[in-house]
Copies of this chain bind each other. A is one copy, B any other.
Amino acid sequence: MTQQKPPPRQRPKRGVSMADVARLAGVSSQTVSRVSTGHPGVVGSTREQVLAAMKQLGYRPNSAARALKRGEFRTIGVTLFTLATTGNSRTVEAIASHAAEEGYAITLIPVASPTQDGLLGAFTRLGELAVDGVIVIMEVHLLDAVTVTLPPGAQVVVVDSDAGDRYTVVDTDQADGARQAVRHLLDLGHRTVWHLTGPAGSFASQRRADAWRAILTEAGRPVPEVRHGDWSAESGYHAGLELAADPECTAVFAANDQMALGLLRAFHERGRRVPDDVSVVGFDDIPDAASFIPPLTTVHQDFAAVGRLCVQAVLRQIRHQTTEPGTTLVPTRLVVRASTAPPRP
């Protein structure tokens, strides 16, 4: 259907420029520019000619020149530690889709490690990067020390942080999610609820733990000692082994689904039946959660919404060249499956 075979295209050492198109179409390069950018004031017949010439030569605007001229790159940078967590990868995916719809590309800036060095490296690179705005998916305090290296004028939106007083923050409503989880367990009749938290550096983890503690205190229930995990199923498993040994423990709220998975295995191995002997609630609602044994009751996060709101916020800021501190919370929803039940009398 088309005239050339796919791969063995020889690069014409220098690309096709507007001048080439203009020459072929017999117009000035400015007219080509007008057609290319969709500006008005080009009569139909001329436009046709130009489009034909573009097609024939395989013209493609040079985005570097365009960016240089316009002073904007139409690109958003996304910084994060890892794509390995469901939350991050799903959020990034949503960001990428919505940015694409708006005509923006996204550039990934992975930070090797949460150390000062890793951060510095990443932000030095970032500083030289061609981005109009940045979405930071991490505790932003880590950023403070290195902010000076952000590209001049680049706007920042943050996920997983409490810096709503200084940045635009978009996040899942962690506290409400945790509240729903704990309330659900208490409503089922459990005396209290144990908690398995995420790594210390995560704001989401901390927020979930705070909310858990608050509800229990509010309800006048004893607050068991918190267990510390690192988001991994493995860490959930280890915590579960300990918890399984405590006959008092009839309900556990894990700060994410993967740790809940580890919990389920530990309880299974120790002969504590879920949900008969122990109830387990997770957080995230990863697709797999419905296939755990038993299917996991968990707090659903709307990562797509988080991504969409992030993009909208950065774009707004880029367009107005303003910073809009404030926090937008995305609601959560408890999904009740088979891992929770009333305690045995």
**Residues of A participating in the B interface, judged by any CB pair closer than 8 Å:** 1-2, 4, 6-9, 11-12, 14-16, 58, 60-65, 67-68, 71, 73, 75, 82-84, 89-90, 92-93, 96-97, 100, 103, 105-110, 112, 122, 125, 127-130, 143-145, 147-148, 151-153, 156, 166-167, 232-234, 236-237, 258, 261-262, 264-265, 268, 287-288, 290-293, 295, 321, 323, 325
Across the interface, do A110 and B125 meet the contact criterion of CB distance under 8 Å? no
Across the interface, do B96 and A105 meet the contact criterion of CB distance under 8 Å? no
Contacts of A71 in B (CB 8 A): 14
Contacts of A100 in B (CB 8 A): 109-110, 122, 125
CB distance from A301 to the nearest CB of B (A): 14
Contacts of A151 in B (CB 8 A): 60
CB distance from A319 to the nearest CB of B (A): 13
The 7 closest A-B pairs by CB, nearest first: A11-B153, A233-B291, A64-B67, A64-B68, A63-B130, A89-B89, A6-B147
State the number of copies, please.
2
Across the interface, do B89 and A288 meet the contact criterion of CB distance under 8 Å? no
Name the residue in A93, A108, A321 with the highest tally of chain B Cβ atoms < 10 Å from its Cβ. A108
Minimum CB distance partner of A68 in chain B:
B64
Contacts of A105 in B (CB 8 A): 107-109, 125, 129-130
Contacts of A97 in B (CB 8 A): 110, 112
